Amino acid sequence: MGIKLKTADEIAKMRVAGRMAARVLEMIGEHVVAGATTEDLDRTCHEFIVEDLDAVPAPLNYSNAPGQPPFPKSICTSVNHVVCHGIPSERKKLKRGDVLNIDITVIKDGYHGDTSKMFYVGEPSVLAQRLIDITQECLYRGIKSVRNGARLGDIGAAIQAHAEGNNFSVVREFCGHGIGDVFHDEPQVLHYGRANTGTELKSGMIFTIEPMINAGRRHIKMLPDQWTVVTKDHKLSAQWEHTILVTDEGAEVLTLRGEENLL
């Protein structure tokens, strides 16, 4: 299947869905406190998505592989050494010093907005703060390499160079993806690679960039729940994600939050 270029109507719907996903992350920050459980965060986000936004939480009951159990919650909460797809739980109570990624995908009028952000409880360690900052910079460098006529490899090369140049590692088993009326679509957007390689970017493409960067080695493992992914060495991991539209001028960030002034 080829990469779909979105029509003006589809882009308009993606802007709405993207803005809604961003609003969830803007809302949930004040709830990320010591003593809260990740189940509390899931419940708050679910109610906001369904009741306030009149939208659908895409992860709930989603499965993308044969035999994989449906994801049981409305958001992903990945704490400390969890790389991605952490399942919210009443047993996971946040404590001071924790860092976590909250990953939000909403569906509005059949179209998806997908984004994630790092949060911390109290004061993060020096290492955690540095990892969070460098990972966000990796995302921004990837976004800044997007333009009509660039190539997918430019994104991965920019991310890999910045992560490894700061003595961190890039998770390779997961990548960004095309998105629209389908949650996960072509192209696959690797977060490592060589510049001037891969598919040429064209105006109208929409995909996510979502680097997962580890403080230790890049190697990961899947837990028995078939969703939660952790670092093998149990060192910290961080991730940031945006949904991106390729334009003639560069990139439009469809999930941009009000706090972001660097793009």
Query: What are the pLDDT digits (tens) for 44-81?
Result: 999 999 999 999 999 999 998 888 999 999 999 999 99
Could you tell me if 137 and 112 are in contact, meaning their C-beta atoms sit under 8 angstroms apart?
no
Note the pLDDT tens digit of each residue in 112-144: 999 999 999 999 999 999 999 999 999 999 999
Amino acid at 102: I
pTM: 0.96
pLDDT exceeds 70 at position 263: no
Average pLDDT over the chain reads 96
Residue 86, token pair as written in the block: 């952490």
Confidence (pLDDT) at 133:
98
Q: What is the DSSP string of 176-224?
A: EEE-SSSSSEEEEE-SS--TT-SPBP-TT-EEEE--EEESS-S-EEE-T
Position with higher pLDDT, 67 vs 43: 43
- Can you say how many angstroms the Cα of residue 236 is from the centroid of all Cα atoms in its chain? 16
What would the CATH number be for the domain defined by 8-253? 3.90.230.10
Instruction: Give the residue among 141, 32, 44 at the shortest CA–CA distance from 97.
Output: 32
Note the pLDDT tens digit of each residue in 208-256: 999 999 999 999 999 999 999 999 999 999 999 999 999 999 999 999 9
Tell me the percentage of the chain whose pLDDT exceeds 90: 96
